[in-house]
A and B are shown apart, each in its own frame.
Chain A
């Protein structure tokens, strides 16, 4: 992990915000950068742990993901699927125009 003091700067914060499609007002960027540096500095403690022969653990269940047969057991609920959409038309979700 990088050095604690120089982990992220405002341009990096802009880049991350862009990656996760999050609008951050200009006035909040400095304090957000500070918060992120504090948190990333805190988690950097993990560098003290020797993990050279350790496998990463993604799930604690220990069981294999169960498979089901590929049967249709649901459907014909177009109205319910669209019910909470901010905008829909003719059975579709509507978004701002993406092709000129």
Chain B
């Protein structure tokens, strides 16, 4: 069993194509992992029968020579993606019985390429959170330091925990302000947020539409490349989808970084960043230099204002998007004698505290008399943040930063909302600018928790992002496995 679990996505795909293993045995090994690691709470829904039938279908194609790029690979899906006939709750009580009648574009792309679904993965409610603690059915536990009950990060906490615990070979996530990169960093895996527009948003439960972007959470950079190859693509059903063909990312794995310029922004080593993270960040800079990159100090002067701008823009868009949960067309309804009372009780009972806070903030900043002072101001600052990056990309190819200011923290240690928001301080700026970013594990801190480093590329330069991340991955040689992982 453990031999099967030891294979990463690219290796498993090779073994399947060489008929050394079958998708059925691989899928069964992962279903067993799911049950062995069920105390982590990563899965909200397991679709065993569907997984088995998809695996058998894949095995036929592997035998008759019509295998597709992800043929027979068992993956988990964040519960933000609508999956036809499979419950999709966004970890919210208001959608606890919602069964979509259609499939999201990204997941359909994955099934079209032969992937096998294992189940749906927990996340923060409506992807709003950085610890997975806002999930209606309770938090997920990070498989690292399993006796201590650490946070897997969020919002894609279930996705990151499942990949780290080896209960999924890979998983999908969504990232609005760091929801792929931060949990990937906390769980010692790779998480890639593509350029805004690379992956279709159609069929993904909407949070903040100008920021939401889907991406892969995987064990390695090459796994991320192979998975994003299938997830990305133009989609007429998403008006912000980019009509640009993405080159095959697997062709860029070994291009190296000789002569490339790496920007080191001085604003990203702020007070409060853990010493261990700063140390390994400096080491990462040296690794890239050793591989032939030129290191250039840069400045992104408006970095400090990214988080405040984000906490106006994202709640504003969320308050508008979540207006659809009215107890009329889908989702839970709280019965009442009048229509207004029905709306208020449905929403009051259906949403958790963090979601309510954001709806309230969003409604306030969009309300008459405050719109210019808050929302318009934040949009102006967003332009300045984007221009900061544009200026820096005239001088460098990639930007290297820590992924998070700290490693994972213990669950249940009640943090006030603002302290929680600070988790995303290094991931939010690239989100506001729509840029692609990747977090990959490069080492452990003193307590044995993984540390993630982030690379940010210019718009649509996922190929270069993959080449650079691969160099960093080889130099770091991170090969630790979480103590709570399936064996």
A residues touching B (Cβ–Cβ < 8 Å)? 1-2, 8, 13, 16-17, 19-25, 32, 35-36, 38-40, 42-49, 51, 54-61, 63, 65-66, 68, 77, 80, 83-87, 93, 95-96, 98
Q: Is the CB of B373 within 8 A of A84?
A: no
Knowing A57-B380, A61-B242 touch, does A22 contact B417 (C-beta < 8 A)? Answer: no
List 3 A-B pairs, minimum CB-CB distance, nearest first.
Answer: A23-B348, A60-B434, A56-B379
Complex-state Cα separation, A16 to B383, whole angstroms: 28
**CA A17 – CA B340 in complex, angstroms?**
12
- Residue pairs across A and B with Cβ atoms less than 8 A apart, 27 shown, are A1-B373, A21-B343, A21-B344, A22-B344, A23-B347, A35-B416, A42-B308, A42-B421, A43-B309, A43-B311, A43-B374, A45-B308, A46-B305, A49-B380, A51-B384, A56-B382, A57-B379, A59-B240, A60-B432, A60-B434, A61-B197, A61-B434, A63-B243, A80-B101, A84-B98, A85-B329, A98-B339
User: Are A57 and B383 within 8 A (Cβ)?
Assistant: yes
What does the 1/0 interface line of B280-302 toward A look like (CB < 8 Å)?
Answer: 00000000000000000000001
Complex interface: chain A residues within 8 A of B421 (CB):
42
- Tell me the complex Cα distance, A85–B294, Å: 58
Is B378 engaged at the interface, CB distance under 8 Å to the other chain?
yes
One of B28-36, B265-273, B355-363, B472-480 at the interface: B355-363
Contact check, B329 vs A36: say whether CB atoms are below 8 A apart. no
Q: Apart from A20-B359, A46-B312, A59-B210, what 13 extra A-B contacts exist at CB < 8 Å?
A: A19-B367, A23-B344, A38-B416, A38-B417, A40-B364, A45-B304, A46-B309, A61-B196, A63-B242, A68-B236, A84-B98, A86-B332, A98-B338
Q: How many Å from the CB of B123 to the closest CB on chain A?
A: 20
B residues 186-205 touching A (CB-CB < 8 Å): 196-197
Distance, CA A98 to CA B305, complexed state (A): 46
Closest residue of chain A to B373 (Cβ to Cβ) is A1
* Closest residue on chain A to residue B336 by CB atoms: A96
Q: Which bracket fits the contact residues of B?
A: 35 or more
Pair B374/A85 contact, Cβ less than 8 Å: no
Q: Are B349 and A1 closer than 8 Å at their CB atoms?
A: no
Q: Is there contact, CB below 8 Å, between A46 and B378? A: yes
CA distance A16 to B347 in the complex (A): 14
In the bound complex, CA of A68 to CA of B243 (Å): 14
| Chain B residues near A49 (CB-CB < 8 A) | 302, 305, 380-381, 384
User: Measured between C-beta atoms, what is the minimum distance from B3 to chain A in Å?
Assistant: 43
Across the interface, which residues of A come within 8 angstroms of B326, CB to CB? 21
Contact of A86 among B305, B327, B344 (CB under 8 A): B327
Encode contact with A along B297-322: 1 for CB under 8 Å, 0 otherwise: 00000101101110110000001000
Residues of chain B touching chain A, judged by Cβ–Cβ distance below 8 Å, are 98-99, 101-102, 196-197, 210, 236, 239-240, 242-243, 302, 304-305, 307-309, 311-312, 319, 323, 326-333, 336-345, 347-349, 351, 356-357, 359-364, 367, 373-374, 376-384, 386, 416-418, 421, 432-434
Q: Are A20 and B363 in contact (CB under 8 A)?
A: yes
User: Would B376 and A56 count as touching, CB distance under 8 A?
Assistant: yes
**A21 and B347 contact, Cβ closer than 8 Å, known pairs A32-B356, A51-B377:** yes
Known contacts being A39-B418, A85-B329, is A57 close to B382, with CB within 8 Å? yes
CB distance from A17 to the nearest CB of B (A): 7
The distance from the CB of B299 to the nearest CB of chain A, in whole angstroms, is 15
The answer to whether B364 and A60 have CB atoms under 8 Å apart is: no
Contacts of B386 in A (CB 8 A): 57, 60
- Chain A residues near B384: list those with CB within 8 A: 49, 51, 54
A84 and B357 contact, CB distance less than 8 A = no
**Chain A nearest Cβ from B462, distance in angstroms:** 16
B348 touches A93 (CB 8 A): no
Of A22, A55, A66, the contact of B359 (CB 8 Å cutoff) = A22
Residues on the A chain within 8 Å of B363, using CB: 16, 19-20
Please state if B305 and A45 are interface contacts (CB–CB under 8 Å).
Answer: yes
What residues on B are CB-neighbors of A40 within 8 Å? Answer: 361, 364
**A39 and B305: CB pair below 8 A?**
no
Kindly state the separation between the CA atoms of A18 and B320 in the bound complex, as whole angstroms.
14
B101 near A20: Cβ-Cβ < 8 Å: no
Q: Which residues does chain A contribute within 8 Å of B242, judged by CB atoms? A: 61, 63
Inter-chain CA distance A8–B340, complex, in Å, is 24
Distance between Cα atoms of A98 and B319 in the complex (Å): 25
Among B327, B333, B336, B360, contact of A17 (Cβ-Cβ < 8 Å): B360
